[in-house]
Structure 1
């Protein structure tokens, strides 16, 4: 692990985000100079810097948190400056009191930090009168409101496309897992191949989590967003595909592969019913790909638009104890079929 990973991000902040931060700071500074007649509106600049966030919803939450922290810190510094003479020891005492109050009130880390920093800055800038306290509070409010307004009006980023991509990747991997299982059923497998098959299919679980996380981020990016109405139907469709279909399919494909791993024998590929099952697995993979393409904003299907898994498969009784594996595969295939059958209705 590189030491720089502790303070260097994997990717740059979007340029629009940096530009919005600079605009918010500049506007806050100018307004405070014009309205409040102060030369160094540091609190306004700090508020603007901290509040411009990737989403409007986050910006609003940060605005409330930081503003309350500044107000509490300035008031604490003003009260203590009225009672005790300003000195180095007073700064240390204010820090101790601020931390203690934050701990007792169970304040968030962001608000605690803002409270302590604001109290120290207030003392350093000459806190000692209620006029100073009121001015700092108003200054902070201006910075917060300007930052929120800038974030609201200047192209708030919408995260629907990354969510769509994650769901499409999940669907593609489910389809690949079905094909890999079909190929494995048709040939003799070594212990290493069986283990590799199981390891690969288990990657579906973190992919489901990743897709859900991307949808949550997209939902947050649309909260309090002026362009939310345009993107909301797309996000709802993506979310429906994940929750109603792909999430369950991932569980079923993992279960099928696990059953194959547990009940495999070298003669399984000669079982007459295996060919029919592998055919259905490939048809299901086709329809999963089709489902993912239908979930895209601008679909460009790479396969036929006609669902291939048209009816559940009926099998004859398998030989020996292979009925356990065959039955398990058939039950999961039935569940996948039921999810994919909705394609006909939706189309």
Structure 2
């Protein structure tokens, strides 16, 4: 059992590595942006080491490249915050190391005091993920006997140098922002939403004969999860524009605006799809009458759902291609809805399908408003 589990895990890792390598050449992909950041981290570390070792001639300049590579973050704003936190963490580590050596008669006792104190200091929330630098700095300074005045100055100089180099590289060399990644996610989300609408259309047209094993609400849940991740990515992209010299580019601003509008559209559509899914799931679970609609109503519903799927794809494509947004072909959708309503109201008796038909009609209205609103 364990052997197959490990093998399966290795296979997934290999597929993930191959997928990453395959996506690196794709412009705007997460893989490409990550690869660029890795390259920039290497450049920053080498440059910081060169300046510290060969220009300033600092002894054992291990902190400079360490701090420099830590500064290469996914956003410029994050790099600046990381730089400030890194400097504060190193200063704390230096102070703890100097104090421990001054109070304790031997290196072992100094380490016994410095490491716990530095570890506790590293949990200070304001240091965030740079807290590890506190015990790292304190431990190495005590262990290497570098707590005298000159060495303390060297460590602080290295830290400032590394932070400046890392932030400078991240700011000036292909400043990171993941706007294009968000746009790609929104397009995939639109395809997923349209695909689910077409599946729902097939369900309605078949009158429930082709019911899926999985509840429709569970499939809508997956769409909601995708949209939540895209929303988080959009917020990350917006944060990436803070202090970023590329934030003024028209293309960048238009892409962020288009992604926000696409996400808003898809979230409204997801709410309408959930209403439709609840009707279909209710009919399947005997909470409502069977999904047996009046003649022609199922066909009209399916046609409207397929038209809505096409409209979503067209509207999202128009948003990112900076074309005139037609509102998702609202005239055609409204006409299809009117046809559905006339078909549904041709019979006013109390047949069992009336309740299901009315609930489905309300959900269809909501879908059309979500797309055209």
Assess same fold via TM > 0.5.
yes
Is the 1:44–1:139 contact (alpha carbons within 8 Å) kept by the matching residues of 2?
A: yes
Does 1:142 find its partner at 2:173? Answer: no
Q: What does residue 57 of structure 1 align with?
A: 77
Looking at structure 1, the residues matched to 125 and 230 of structure 2 have their Cα atoms a distance apart, in angstroms, of 33
Preserved CA contact (<8 Å) 1:69 1:111: yes
* Change in CA separation of 1:318 and 1:125 when aligned onto 2, cut-off 3 Å: farther
- What is the CA deviation profile of residues 239-278 of structure 1, one whole-angstrom value per residue up to 9, with x for unaligned ones? 12212x2101112112202212212566615544333222
Name the residue aligned to 1:241.
Answer: 262
| Residues paired across the two proteins, number | 338
Provide the residue aligned with 1:345 in structure 2. none
Could you tell me which residue of structure 2 aligns to residue 279 of structure 1?
Answer: 303
Q: Deviations over 1:298-327 (max 9, x none)?
A: 77x9xx978631344234047524333222
- CA deviation after TM superposition for structure 1 residue 170, in Å: 1.6
CA change 1:18–1:173 in 2 (3 A) is: closer
Paired residues for 1:227-306 under 5 Å: 227-230=246-249, 231-243=252-264, 245-263=265-283, 268-297=292-321
Choose from 184, 195, 213 the match for 1:176: 195
Structure 2 unaligned runs (5+)?
22-30
Query: What TM-score do you get using the length of structure 2 for normalisation?
Result: 0.79
Q: What residue is the counterpart of 1:33 in the other structure?
A: 53
Offset, 1:143: 0.5
Query: Who is 1:43 aligned against?
Result: 63
**Aligned Cα RMSD in Å?**
3.1
Cα distance change, pair 53–180 in 1 and its aligned pair in 2 (3 A): same
Q: Is the 8 A contact 1:172 1:292 kept in 2?
A: no
CA contact (8 A) 2:83 2:163 kept: yes
- The aligned counterpart of 2:24 is none
Provide the rounded CA distance (Å) in 2 between the counterparts of 1:112 and 1:251: 42
Other-structure match for 2:178: 159
- 1:80 is aligned, of 87, 100, 122, to 100
1:141 Cα deviation (Å)? 0.6
Question: Is contact 2:98–2:147 with CA below 8 Å preserved after alignment?
Answer: yes
Runs of at least 5 residues in structure 1 that lack an aligned partner in the other structure? 343-347
1:112 aligned residue: 131
Alpha-carbon distance change, 267 to 42 in structure 1, aligned in 2, over 3 angstroms: closer
**Distance between the aligned counterparts of 2:62 and 2:207, measured in 1?**
72
CA distance in 2, matches of 1:134, 1:47: 16
- Deviation, 1:35, is 5.5
Kept in 2, the 8 Å contact 1:52–1:148? The answer is: yes
